[in-house]
Amino acid sequence: MAAEEDPEVHLGQLKRFSLRELQVATDGFCNKNILGRGGFGKVYKGRLADGSLVAVKRLKEERTPGGELQFQTEVEMISMAVHRNLLRLRGFCMTPTERLLVYPYMANGSVASRLRDRAPAEPPLDWQTRRRIALGSARGLSYLHDHCDPKIIHRDVKAANILLDEDFEAVVGDFGLAKLMDYKDTHVTTAVRGTIGHIAPEYLSTGKSSEKTDVFGYGITLLELITGQRAFDLACLANDDDVMLLDWADS
C-alpha cells in the first residue's frame, strides 16, 4: 500500500490526492457523475471534503515500465502553464494502476455542450459571448505555444475542449494530455491524437504536430462557434450533405 500513496512524491505546488479521496469525492466513480468521455478517459464531477467542486479526469492507461517518472515530469509541465484562459491543474493521483488529474469544476460546461446540448432553460450563446470565447481560447493557445518552455502543442483543439467558467470566459482544457499519454507509445512514432474533423491533414499523414496543428483545430472551432454545427456529423449522410464541416464551408 505504501507504493499507492507515496508521500515523498511532490510536484511543485500541486496537491497529491489519495485514490480514496477521489473515490469518495466521485461516489466511487459513479456513472451518474460522468461529465464527459474521450480518447484520454472519463471525466467525473466530484466534491472534495472541503466542499469544493472538481472535475476528476481518470486517464486510460496500460501499465508501462518507467511510466511513473514520465507521468510526474509531464504533470509538472502541465502545472506550470498558468494563464487566465487555461484550465489550471489542481492536483493529481498516481497509483500502480491509476492515473488521475484533478481540475476546478467549470460551471457552464464546454462550448460544444452550450452550442448543441444546452438545456431548454439555457439561453443560446449570443454573438458577443462567442466573440469573447474565440479571443479567450486564442490567448490560451498562444500562451501554450509562445510562453511555455518547452512549448505545449494541444493536438486536439475543439469546442468540447474549451470550457466556460462562471463568467463565460473561455478556458482551454486537455492541453498537455497528448504528450502525457505518449510515454507508452513507441519512441519511433508518436501516435496521432485528435478528433475526426479537427485533425490537420499534414498531422494525419505524417504524425508530426506543430503549432499549425492547433491553428487548424482552432479554425474548425471558429466554424463550430459560428454555425453551431459539429465538425464531423454522420447524420448529414441521410440528406446527402457534407459530413465534414470544413467541406461544407468550402462548398
List pLDDT tens digits, range 160-186.
999 999 999 999 998 877 665 444 443
Question: For 73-77, 83-87, 216-220, which range has the lowest pLDDT when averaged over its residues?
Answer: 73-77
- DSSP character at residue 37: E
Q: What is the C-alpha to C-alpha distance for residues 122 and 108, in angstroms, rounded to an integer? A: 10
Which helix (H) or strand (E) segment is 100 a member of? strand 99-104
Structure-block grid coordinates of residue 223: 466554424
208 is in an annotated binding site: no
User: Final residue of a domain: which of 104, 121, 142?
Assistant: 104
Amino acid at 112: A
Q: How wide is the angle at C-alpha 17 spanned by C-alphas 154 and 70, nearest 5°?
A: 45
pLDDT score recorded for residue 71: 77
Look at the chain and report how many structural domains it folds into: 2
Q: Same domain for 131 and 67?
A: no
pLDDT score recorded for residue 242: 59
The answer to whether 200 and 192 are in contact (CB under 8 A) is: no
Q: Which amino acids are annotated catalytic?
A: 156
Q: Same domain for 86 and 142?
A: no
User: Final residue of a domain: which of 85, 104, 123?
Assistant: 104
Q: Which residues pair with 164 in a beta bridge?
A: 170
Provide the residue range defining the domain that includes 228: 109-242
Say if 249 falls within a structural domain.
no
pLDDT at 202 over 90: no
**Residue 67's pLDDT band (cuts 50, 70, 90):** low
pLDDT score recorded for residue 8: 37
pLDDT at 46 over 80: yes
Q: What is the C-alpha to C-alpha distance for residues 126 and 108, in angstroms, rounded to an integer? A: 14
Question: For 11-25, 35-49, 67-81, 150-164, which range has the lowest pLDDT when averaged over its residues?
Answer: 67-81
Q: Same domain for 115 and 224?
A: yes
